[in-house]
Structure 1
């Protein structure tokens, strides 16, 4: 069994994100107890490529799809599909947070942070999951803090985990392709509503480590 770090995971790298509005009836299954946030029968769904590098607790590549949901009135994000190229990341994601990680092979080239467009492909042994290209447009000033919570199904219950991040950001032009037989269930049609690149992000995923109780004297 691969070993993995305890939570929280401190991660850093580059993220390439696109968002779509998709019909609610076409969404993949969500955990019991959460509902999609909808507008006129459409839900916000995203897909992202992530490269965890620099001083990340683990170094690996990732492609994922996620849905904006609510637990009661509380906004949350649920990851519906995700592949990584790190067995420790797969094991840790599943066992710590209920994130349904699978393994895939990645072919990623380019670096938007250095003025080069990103080209990315992810494949399983059976088929291609997705291909995408990103080209940076307008760099936004400053570094942007973002905090949210991921809710997944773990052990028959909802598991909610905090995510805290900060990054530089750029508006981007992106093109995605999902083969008809892709296991990545993102019912997106046409160009994304919005695409962003998050440069040199720093991210903390999971609950802070609990201090050991002080022995009684």
Structure 2
């Protein structure tokens, strides 16, 4: 078995995030015992490219999709699809928290306009370009909980983060027959970059 760090994982790096309102019928399955939060028949889905670097316990790239859900009366985030380029991250994410990580290959160019692409053994997953538009003052704190299915039961994990947040304009390209196809049917509602974030996951 591939070794991986014990929780909590202390991570740092850069995140490029977009959010979409998605018709309930197009939302992917979520964790056992939860249901998507919907308004007027639409839920909220997010997709992000993440580069874990600097003081991270592991260094790797990541592409994920997540859905805002309700666990009883509590809002949570459920990661429904996720790819990484680190066997240790994949093994740890699955074993510790029930995060369904798979392997992929990433290309990234982080200049004034950041561009990303990812492909798995099944073919291209997605590509995106992010152009920053303006910075919010300070470093904003954020605390929330991830909910996943682990060994047939609900597994909830705490996330605490702080980052410099910047508004961005993003364009995503997604294969029409791929797992993330619904994200390519409409422009994102909002896009952000979380620069030089620090994050504590689990524990």
- TM-score w.r.t. the length of structure 1 is 0.91
Residues 129-168 of structure 1: pairs in structure 2 closer than 5 A: 129-168=125-164
2: CA distance, partners of 1:152 / 1:186: 21
More off after superposition, 159-168 vs 116-125: 116-125
- Tell me the distance in 2 between the aligned counterparts of 1:167 and 1:45: 21
Structure 1's unaligned 5+ residue stretches are: 208-217
Task: Describe the SS at the equivalent of 2:7.
Answer: coil
* Match of residue 18 from structure 1: 18
Q: Map 1:171-186; keep pairs closer than 5 Å.
A: 171-184=167-180, 186=182
TM-score with structure 2 length normalisation?
Answer: 0.97
CA contact (8 A) 1:65 1:185 kept: no
Q: Which residue, 161, 186, 190 being the options, matches 1:194? A: 190
Structure 1 residues 121 and 187: alpha-carbon distance in aligned structure 2, compared to 1, 3 A threshold: closer
What is the alpha-carbon distance in structure 2 between the residues aligned to residue 44 and residue 81 of structure 1? Answer: 15
Greater Cα offset, 70-79 or 26-35: 26-35
Q: Which residue of 2 aligns with 1:215?
A: none
Query: Size of the alignment, in residue pairs?
Result: 203
Gaps of 5+ in 2: none
Q: Distance in 2 between matches of 1:186 and 1:31?
A: 19
SS of 1:3 mapped into structure 2: coil
How far is 1:2 from its partner? 1.1
Shift of 1:187: 4.3
1:51 equivalent in structure 2:
51
Counterpart CA distance in 2 for 1:34 and 1:81 is 16
Between 182-191 and 100-109, the greater mean CA deviation after superposition: 182-191
Greater fraction of residues in strand? 2
1:99 equivalent to 2:116? Answer no
Look at both structures and tell me which one has the larger radius of gyration over its CA atoms: 1
Superposition RMSD on alpha carbons, in Å?
A: 1.0
Q: CA deviation at 1:36?
A: 0.7
